[in-house]
């Protein structure tokens, strides 16, 4: 199931990035739900909110090292630590998906845009969602680990 998750999320990330960058002209928007959700086609050479924009090699090195570290901890993790293992899987896949973009197209292709209560969230992609799911799984693992220690 772990390998399926890795391949499925990586494939979904690549497919959605390719479709949106092919079907939606760069910088254009396709409204899905008026004033709430739209699709766009952008390339981000920085991090969220375009932080450190243009620092491609920094992000390539950081993502490469992070991927190796996550892979190491995954291999060392106990099979029973399901939340930890999936946290590492989702964070690895998200990091790898965006790393592949940086290496192949010179930046991360983002396409999902939301406006919630007047706040325009940074445009993101499936790899970014995977990273956030991984962080959520890590939080759950931390809470469960604390409960196990005090039980």
**Is 110 annotated in the active site?**
yes
Q: Would you call 13 a catalytic residue per the annotation? A: no
Distance CA 102, CA 2 (A): 25
84, 77 contact by CB (below 8 A): yes
Given a contact cutoff of 8 angstroms between Cβ atoms, the answer to whether 98 and 76 are in contact is no
121 token code pair: 């969230």
Q: Indicate which residue of 13, 35, 110, 145 is catalytic.
A: 110
- Of the residues 13, 35, 101, 128, which is catalytic? 128
Closest CA to 6 of 103, 108, 134, 101: 134
Rounded Cα distance, 91 and 128, in Å: 9
Rounded CA separation 81/67 (Å)? 19
List residues with catalytic annotation.
Answer: 110, 128
């Amino acid at each position: 199931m772990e390998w399926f998750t890795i391949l499925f999320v990586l494939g979904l990330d690549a497919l959605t990035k390719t479709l949106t960058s092919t079907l939606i002209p760069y910088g254009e928007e396709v409204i899905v739900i008026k004033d709430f959700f739209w699709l766009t086609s952008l390339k981000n050479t920085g991090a969220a909110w375009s932080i450190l924009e243009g620092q491609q090699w920094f992000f390539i090195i950081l993502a490469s090292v992070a991927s190796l570290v996550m892979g190491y901890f995954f291999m060392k993790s106990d099979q029973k630590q399901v939340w930890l293992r999936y946290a590492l899987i989702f964070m690895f896949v998200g990091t790898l998906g965006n790393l592949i973009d940086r290496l192949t197209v010179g930046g991360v292709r983002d396409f999902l845009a939301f406006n919630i209560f007047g706040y325009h969230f940074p445009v993101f992609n499936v790899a970014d969602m995977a990273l956030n799911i991984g962080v959520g799984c890590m939080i759950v693992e931390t809470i469960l680990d604390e409960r196990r220690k005090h039980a």
